[in-house]
């Protein structure tokens, strides 16, 4: 797993780019789904899926 990686950009300057190393999935209120991407075990964001997004997310998981 790469936590951070040095990259070469077109102008030649290197910079650090964070890498998502995990995804936590929780059930929320009223059958909602909450996604939390994590970097080195620390949640970096929190996304709450709408009903339509939830259906699409479940279909994608079932295909995997």
Q: Which residues contact 35 (CB under 8 A, 6 or more apart)?
A: 23, 24, 25, 26, 46, 47, 49
DSSP code for 29: G
Assign 1 a pLDDT band (cuts: 50, 70, 90). very low
To the question of pTM greater than 0.85 for the whole model, the response is: no
Assign 58 a pLDDT band (cuts: 50, 70, 90). confident
Closest CA to 18 of 7, 31, 33, 32: 7
Q: Is the pLDDT of residue 19 over 70?
A: no
| pLDDT for the residue numbered 30 | 74
CB atoms within 10 A of CB 33: 17
């Amino acid at each position: 797993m790469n936590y951070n990686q040095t990259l070469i950009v077109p102008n030649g300057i290197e910079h650090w780019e964070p890498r998502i190393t995990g995804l936590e999935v929780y059930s929320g209120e009223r059958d909602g789904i909450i996604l939390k991407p994590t970097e080195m075990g620390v949640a970096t964001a929190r996304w709450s899926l709408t009903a339509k997004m939830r259906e699409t997310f479940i279909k994608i998981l079932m295909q995997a």
